[in-house]
A and B are shown apart, each in its own frame.
Chain A
Amino acid sequence: MHPRERRTNRRHFLVGSAGAVAALSGADALLQAADALAGRLGAPIGPGGIPLARRGFPVTLPLYSDNDPIASGRTTEKGPLNVFNWSDYVNPAVVKKFEKAYNVKVKVTTFENEEEALAKLTSGSAGFDVWFATVDYLSRMVAGKLIQPVNHSYLPNLKNVWPQLQSPFYDVHSRYTVPYTVYTTGIAWRKDKVKTPPTAFKNGYDAFWHAQKYAGKVAILDDQREAIGMGLRHRGVGDVNTENAKLVQAAANDLKQLTKTVNVKTNTTQYTDVPTGATWLGQSWSGDMAGATYYMPKNVPVSVIGYWRPAKNAVVGSDMITVLRGAKNPVLAHHFMNFLLDEKHGVENFSYLGYMPPLKVINPDKVIAQGYIPKNLGATIVRESDFANAVSLLPLTQQGQATWQNAWSAFKAG
């Protein structure tokens, strides 16, 4: 689940569409090659024959002859630029600055969950130029030729990005994407209520299993990958994309224990629950906690909130920006992506979102000193080293999805 999905529409249903058919036929020619490649690399094959990205097995997304990037040196279009983004996921002030700089209008259409976005994009008639994507859907969108490769001559600001994300493991050489935000999944707590926070344990996740005193005030994310992933990390399992049924079941059983001992709740509302005190110890996303100041009730200082994630092998996520294949303003789209990667604009965006862009200029200490993030929430900032030593929740095969879902169902049965 993406942090921006607020349990609005939970219908993760891909209605059979033209895009799906295209995915199959288009990738046919390359299926053999992709298969061989994946076989050598050992990565599982995803839909359309493109290997599922794994940290140990970087994926070079295929280029198709009928889906070329735009030529270099073209003139910028007049716009308006059509942007398709998560709701509330870009600073309107930054968008206005872009409009002024390029003398164009920008129209932002929002979506609330990934399936909704995909359904709209595959229906073909949407007419968007820019789309903010996630790793999950990248391979499907490439196979279905719904996004176009990017032309780096329009993206000089890519050099501002962390080196490891200039050519990320999910898109080697950044053929189709540029990075947008990075975030971690950690544990937030109320310092004034919880006397045994994650920082008091060698294995920070243990805090959940020792929170009997705070029964009823403990929450984990209502997402099977994040919750069971946490269970796996708690057990010291490094591969949070494992499809080993025994491991996954064991992690889910640990979570079941939490139901018994601390009456754990499952939700995705920690961004308000922890500030208001409805939850005292909750698994949450870094970007949510960075914005805690806004949700604090009167008379309660933000310094009561703490956020922790493991120093090594934290669960990390990242979002990216892409250009759609049928874009009417591809050059403008590139300029938009470049604009957001600019150091000043990136930081301005960060201050609005709470989710940070992977820009070299963002020095965690400076960010705290300048007051963008409260000192006690410094851990919400993702450092380059965190990302390098992190694990990511990546797409599973169908069998793997079934394994995880069964474990989750057993946990949810109570």
Chain B
Amino acid sequence: MKRFLDWWANPWGQPRTLAVVTWLYMLWAIVPVCIAVLFSFNDGRSRSVWQGFSTRWYWGDPDQSVLHDPALRGALEQTLKLAGLAMLIAVPLGVGLAIGLTRWRGFGARPVNFLMLFPLVTPEIVMAVSLLLVFVSLYKIQLGTTAQALGQVTFSISYVVLVVRGRLLSVGRQYEEAARDLGASTLGALRLVLLPLLAPAIFASLMVVFALSVDDFVVTDYLSSNSSTQTVPIKIYSSVRGTTTPALNALATVMVVATLVAVTFAALVYRRFNKLQQGGGGAVSELAALEA
């Protein structure tokens, strides 16, 4: 307390208003979510009035808990299924694109780079509508899990490229060139030298795609077909204004925890291999580098 008072009284110290504003912002950004998580443990049916602690909405309640309600559990399963598919497809495509774009000196590099950046600035509804129309009118792909997965991969690729490219640029060509000098073929150098060096970035991009997929709403909704293809965001969207039970909060909490665990894991892995950048820092500077 005394340290706080001293700090407050010091006219030459760090700007106090800015510090206060920043901490208030942090509280404002995080506390409502914590309250929502708290209410998922509510004993009663209310989302706004605390009635005691209970885990009934997670597994206790035999009809309406996340574990037992087929609609909620189905949403959870569908979300994880789509996330798995997106990770499986988007990351290899994105890594290839990142490597190719960074090394490509020829004519097509700039247009492809431009093409890659476009999904990042396209509003989701534009992308969702365009995918819906093309699936129904042109490609004749049935709406449902396949369509949803295809859509999610499409906007995830660009993020993978951003994450991997940052690492690629900082690694540089020297290691591969050294390997080639020692007799490795180009592809061999790639496989034995570059990919291991890229491993943390690839891992980070896996987690980024996971987080993006799990949070996605518009594209997934537009490409869904029936109640079995509902994901957690869709469930939240359709139920939140009605009188739902805290089971909805519980469902959302499960996904949030899963995402945060995934991202934290990626950050730790990334940091262990790379002392300079931290967690989303690489992606951040790439995001800021969009202006370039």
A and B touch in the complex (CB under 8 A): yes
Chain A: residues with CB nearer than 8 A to chain B? 6-9, 11, 13, 15-16, 87, 110-113, 116, 119-120, 267, 269, 272-273, 276, 278, 295
Decide: A295 and B243 in contact? CB cutoff 8 A. Answer: yes
Decide: B242 and A9 in contact? CB cutoff 8 A. Answer: no
Decide: A9 and B243 in contact? CB cutoff 8 A. Answer: no
Interface 9-mer from B136-144, B173-181, B252-260 = B136-144
Contact of B143 among A15, A269, A272, A278 (CB under 8 A): A15
Decide: B222 and A11 in contact? CB cutoff 8 A. Answer: yes
Q: B224 to chain A: which residues have CB within 8 Å? A: 9, 11
Q: A272 to chain B: which residues have CB within 8 Å? A: 242-243
Decide: A6 and B242 in contact? CB cutoff 8 A. Answer: yes
Contact flags B127-160 to A (C-beta < 8 A → 1, else 0): 0000010001000101100000000000000000
Interface 9-mer from B32-40, B205-213, B225-233 = B225-233
Q: B140 to chain A: which residues have CB within 8 Å? A: 16
Interface of chain B residues 190 through 238 with chain A (CB within 8 A): 221-222, 224-227, 230, 234, 238
Q: Is B105 an interface residue (CB 8 A)?
A: no
Q: A11 to chain B: which residues have CB within 8 Å? A: 143, 221-222, 224-225
Decide: A111 and B143 in contact? CB cutoff 8 A. Answer: no
Is chain B's interface secondary structure helix, strand, loop, or mixed overall? loop
Complex CA–CA separation, A13 to B226 (angstroms): 11
Query: Can you identify 30 A-B contacts, CB atoms within 8 angstroms?
Result: A6-B238, A7-B238, A8-B227, A8-B238, A9-B225, A9-B230, A11-B143, A11-B221, A11-B222, A13-B136, A15-B136, A15-B143, A16-B136, A16-B140, A87-B227, A110-B227, A111-B226, A112-B226, A113-B226, A116-B225, A116-B226, A116-B227, A119-B225, A119-B226, A120-B226, A267-B241, A267-B242, A269-B241, A272-B242, A276-B243
Contact of B242 among A13, A110, A111, A269 (CB under 8 A): A269
Closest residue on chain A to residue B242 by CB atoms: A269
Complex CA–CA separation, A13 to B131 (angstroms): 14
> Told that A9-B227, A112-B227, A267-B242 touch, could you supply 18 new A-B pairs with CB distance under 8 A?
A6-B238, A7-B238, A8-B238, A9-B234, A11-B221, A11-B224, A11-B225, A15-B136, A15-B142, A16-B140, A87-B227, A111-B226, A116-B225, A119-B226, A269-B243, A272-B242, A272-B243, A276-B243
Complex CA–CA separation, A113 to B226 (angstroms): 8
CB distance from B226 to the nearest CB of A (A): 4
Residue of B222, B226, B227 ringed by the most chain A CB atoms within 10 A: B226
Complex CA–CA separation, A269 to B241 (angstroms): 8
Complex CA–CA separation, A336 to B208 (angstroms): 51
Q: B136 to chain A: which residues have CB within 8 Å? A: 13, 15-16
CB distance from A322 to the nearest CB of B (A): 19
Contact of B227 among A15, A111, A295 (CB under 8 A): A111
Closest residue on chain A to residue B45 by CB atoms: A297
Q: B227 to chain A: which residues have CB within 8 Å? A: 8-9, 87, 110-112, 116
CB distance from B127 to the nearest CB of A (A): 16
Q: A276 to chain B: which residues have CB within 8 Å? A: 243
Complex CA–CA separation, A118 to B143 (angstroms): 13
Contact of A9 among B132, B142, B226, B241 (CB under 8 A): B226
Closest residue on chain B to residue A87 by CB atoms: B227
Closest residue on chain A to residue B44 by CB atoms: A298
Q: A112 to chain B: which residues have CB within 8 Å? A: 226-227
Complex CA–CA separation, A278 to B241 (angstroms): 10
Closest residue on chain B to residue A276 by CB atoms: B243
The 7 closest A-B pairs by CB, nearest first: A272-B243, A116-B226, A269-B242, A112-B227, A8-B238, A7-B238, A15-B136
Q: B242 to chain A: which residues have CB within 8 Å? A: 6, 267, 269, 272
CB distance from A240 to the nearest CB of B (A): 27
Knowing A112-B226, A112-B227, the reply to whether A13 touches B143 (Cβ < 8 A) is yes
Complex CA–CA separation, A269 to B238 (angstroms): 11
Complex CA–CA separation, A120 to B142 (angstroms): 11
CB distance from A2 to the nearest CB of B (A): 14
CB distance from B132 to the nearest CB of A (A): 8
Closest residue on chain B to residue A265 by CB atoms: B241
Contact flags B277-292 to A (C-beta < 8 A → 1, else 0): 0000000000000000
Complex CA–CA separation, A110 to B228 (angstroms): 10
Q: B234 to chain A: which residues have CB within 8 Å? A: 9
